[in-house]
C-alpha cells in the first residue's frame, strides 16, 4: 500500500482497477500524504479527509493518526467488500453498532449477522482472524501490512496466473 513515502487515505472500491492482465491498480491519490507526517518527522497525520465508511476510528474521533495503520484498516474493509459485495458496517466508529460488536469482543455476533445475510457461512476461520486483526480499534493492535501478508489466510495453494487470467476472462465475457 505504501510506496515512495505516501499514505493513501481515500481507498474505495471505485478506486480499484484491473489492467489488461488483471493486475490490481489503485487510483485517486487526492488525499495522499507523506507517511512521515506533514511535519516530516512525527509520522502522525491530522487531516480528516476521505470517505467516512473507509476511515479508521482514530480519524472519526479527531485524533492524530498513523498513515500505514489507517491504510490497513481501509484495505480490510475493501477485502470484506471484495469477498461479500457489501460493506461490513457503515463506518469504523464506536457509534456504529456492527463495528462496536467487533471492538467489544462480540465478533461472534458480528459474524452471525453477516452469515445470516449471506444465507450461509462463507467466512473461513482465517478470513475472520485476518479481518478482525486489520480492523482493530487500537491502531497499535492493528495488523501491519507485513503481518497481513504473512497471515495464514494467504497461505496454501494458489491458482496459477494462467488459471486466474482464464477465470477473469470468463467473468469479463459475462459482463460484456
Three-state DSSP state, 66 = strand
Q: Which residues are catalytic?
A: 10
How far lies 86's CA from each of 2, 40, 71, 79, 81, in Å?
25, 37, 19, 10, 5
Cell of 109: 455476533
Side-chain-side CA neighbours of residue 148 (13 Å): 21
Amino acid at each position: 500500500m505504501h510506496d515512495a513515502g505516501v499514505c493513501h487515505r481515500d481507498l474505495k472500491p471505485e478506486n480499484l482497477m484491473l489492467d489488461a492482465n488483471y493486475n490490481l491498480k489503485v487510483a485517486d491519490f487526492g488525499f495522499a500524504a507523506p507517511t512521515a507526517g506533514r511535519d516530516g518527522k512525527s509520522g502522525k497525520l491530522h487531516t480528516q479527509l476521505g470517505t467516512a465508511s473507509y476511515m479508521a476510528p482514530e480519524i472519526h474521533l479527531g485524533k492524530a493518526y498513523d498513515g500505514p495503520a489507517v491504510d490497513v484498516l481501509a484495505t480490510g474493509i475493501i477485502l470484506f467488500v471484495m469477498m461479500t459485495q457489501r460493506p461490513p458496517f457503515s463506518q469504523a466508529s464506536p457509534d456504529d453498532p456492527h463495528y462496536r460488536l467487533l471492538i467489544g469482543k462480540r465478533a461472534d455476533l458480528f459474524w452471525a449477522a453477516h452469515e445470516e445475510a449471506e444465507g450461509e457461512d462463507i467466512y473461513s476461520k482465517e478470513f475472520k482472524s485476518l479481518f478482525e486483526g486489520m480492523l482493530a480499534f487500537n491502531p497499535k493492535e492493528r495488523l501491519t501490512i507485513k503481518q497481513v501478508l504473512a497471515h495464514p489466510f494467504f497461505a496454501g495453494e494458489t491458482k496459477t496466473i494462467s488459471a486466474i487470467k482464464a477465470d477473469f476472462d470468463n467473468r469479463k465475457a459475462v459482463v460484456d
